[in-house]
Amino acid sequence: MNSYHHPIISPRSRLWFRVFAISTYVFLYLPVVVLVVFSFSDSKLLVFPIDEFSLRWYGVLFANKDLQRSILNSFIVAGTVVPVSLALGTPLAFALDRFQFPGKTVFEQGLLIPLIVPGLITGLAILLVLKELEVRLSLVTVIIGHSIWCLPIVVTQVYARLRRLDQTIEEASMDLGATRAQTFLRVTLPNIRTSLVASALLTFTLSFDEVPVTFFLTGTQNTLPMHIWSMLREGVTPEINAIATITVAISIIILAIALQLLNRDNSARPRQPGPVTGNNGA
């Protein structure tokens, strides 16, 4: 990371930029900070100034059985969506990289639709199919909905990585006696490992927070976002601050890990830091 100062910015502009950037970061993070701070406030109302500090709301949180169950459900869902998306997305990315077939470009574009289209519509669409087939809504249907939404993310990431892969090592592997299947497992996968892990982390986090698709496909079992949603509809309760704080903390940790992995993968190449989030399309 160089500290090259582009001559394009005059010192005076530089100052304005700094001011602007600081204000923006404050705008972005002040609400979060406020939230976190208030999660430790003893009062039921989010009033300013804070009289007492306590962990009261965390206590309420941990005592709430329904909440705990919904957290568990979210883990179950996200935990299943990840392997499903990887298992479906990786061979697809491989097929796109190695084979030509009629309609390939259309398919590539079409695959991105769930990313761009409002989740509401994707959720509705799948709901219609499930109703026609008379399938009952449950966590399984939620998992299916999430996987459709997460599949393009996995495919995009893995495909991008596959294209950068030096295929001569696969030839070397086959030259030394490994079949294509063995080569895929022993040479290809290890070398695209970081894209798999990054996709997994990305998928997990996005699935954990997902709202629109889940909204239509939830049965009797709630996921965490659904639970929070119903809590929010009733009004603002302070436990939510506590949830938010914890969620933010966990997201930061997972994100830091994902970025580290991707940086290590890219350290040999000059590239920008950070993942290309699936939301930005291909």
Partner 1 sequence: MDNVVRLERVSKRFEDFEAVKCLSLSVARGEFLTLLGSSGCGKTTTLRLINGFELADDGEIYIDGTLVNATPPYRREVNTVFQNYALFPHLSIFDNVAYGLSIRGLNKAVIRKRVFEMLDRVGLVEKASSRPAQLSGGQMQRVALARAIINEPRVLLLDEPLGALDAKLRRTMQLELKRIHTRLGITFIYVTHDQEEAFVMSDRIAVMNDGRLVQIGAPTDIFERPANAFVAEFVGTGNFFAAIVGEAVGEGRRVHFGAECHLVATGANGFAEGASVTIAVRPQPVQVLTATCVEESENVLPGTLKEIVYVGAVVRLTIDLGAGGTIQAENLPENLPFDFRRLRGGDKLWVHVPAGSILVYGAGA
Partner 2 sequence: MSSAEITAPASPAALAAKAQYRRDRILRFALCFGPSFAYLVVFMIVPYLLILIFSFWQVEGYAIIRDLTIGNYIRIFENPLYWGTVLKSLEIAFIVTIAANVIGYPLAFFLVFVAGRHRQWLYFLIIIPLFTSFLLRAFIWKTILGRSGVVNTALEYLGFIDEPISLFLYNQFSVCLTLTYIFIPFVTLPVYTALEKIPKELIEASLDLGATPWQTVRRVLLPLSIPGVVAGSIVTFALSFGDFVTPTLLGGPSGIMISSIIIGQFGAAFDWPFGSALAIVVLLVVLITVVIASKFERRSLA
Confirm or reject binding of residue 281 to partner 2 (CB under 8 A). yes
Asked if 275 and 202 touch (Cβ cutoff 8 Å), the reply is yes
**DSSP assignment, residue 188?**
I
Q: Which of the listed partners (partner 2, partner 1, none) does 178 bind, with a CB threshold of 5 to 8 Å by partner kind?
A: partner 1
Asked if 196 and 135 touch (Cβ cutoff 8 Å), the reply is no
Confirm or reject binding of residue 230 to partner 2 (CB under 8 A). no
Nearest approach, Cβ of 268 to partner 1 (angstroms)? 7
Number of amino acids touching partner 2 (CB under 8 A): 94
The binder of partner 2 chosen from 81, 206, 261, 262 (CB under 8 A)? 206
Which residues of this chain interact with partner 1, rule CB under 8 A?
Answer: 166, 168-169, 171-180, 182, 187, 190-191, 193, 268
* Shorter beta-carbon distance to partner 2: residue 60 or 125: 125
* Shorter beta-carbon distance to partner 1: residue 180 or 271: 180
Q: Which of the listed partners (partner 2, partner 1, none) does 28 bind, with a CB threshold of 5 to 8 Å by partner kind?
A: partner 2
CB count in 10 Å sphere of residue 187: 20
Q: Pull the structure tokens for residue 102.
A: 């009629």
Asked if 74 and 206 touch (Cβ cutoff 8 Å), the reply is no
Q: Which of the listed partners (partner 2, partner 1, none) does 251 bind, with a CB threshold of 5 to 8 Å by partner kind?
A: partner 2
Q: Specify the 3-state DSSP secondary structure of 211.
A: coil
Asked if 233 and 169 touch (Cβ cutoff 8 Å), the reply is no
Determine whether 170 is exposed, middle or buried from the number of CB atoms within 10 Å of its CB (0-12, 13-18, 19+).
Answer: middle
Q: Residue type at 198?
A: A
Confirm or reject binding of residue 35 to partner 2 (CB under 8 A). yes
Q: Specify the 3-state DSSP secondary structure of 8.
A: coil
Please, which of residues 6-25 interact with partner 2 by CB under 8 A?
Answer: 6-10, 13-14, 17-18, 20-21, 24-25
Determine whether 79 is exposed, middle or buried from the number of CB atoms within 10 Å of its CB (0-12, 13-18, 19+).
Answer: middle
Q: Which of the listed partners (partner 2, partner 1, none) does 83 bind, with a CB threshold of 5 to 8 Å by partner kind?
A: none
* Shorter beta-carbon distance to partner 2: residue 72 or 253: 253
Confirm or reject binding of residue 120 to partner 2 (CB under 8 A). yes
Confirm or reject binding of residue 205 to partner 2 (CB under 8 A). yes
Asked if 196 and 139 touch (Cβ cutoff 8 Å), the reply is no
Q: Residue type at 66?
A: D
Asked if 29 and 248 touch (Cβ cutoff 8 Å), the reply is no
Q: Which of the listed partners (partner 1, partner 2, none) does 172 bind, with a CB threshold of 5 to 8 Å by partner kind?
A: partner 1
* Shorter beta-carbon distance to partner 1: residue 168 or 272: 168
The binder of partner 2 chosen from 59, 83, 190, 274 (CB under 8 A)? 274
Q: Which of the listed partners (partner 1, partner 2, none) does 179 bind, with a CB threshold of 5 to 8 Å by partner kind?
A: partner 1
Confirm or reject binding of residue 126 to partner 2 (CB under 8 A). yes
Measured CA to CA, the distance from residue 236 to residue 231 in angstroms comes to: 7
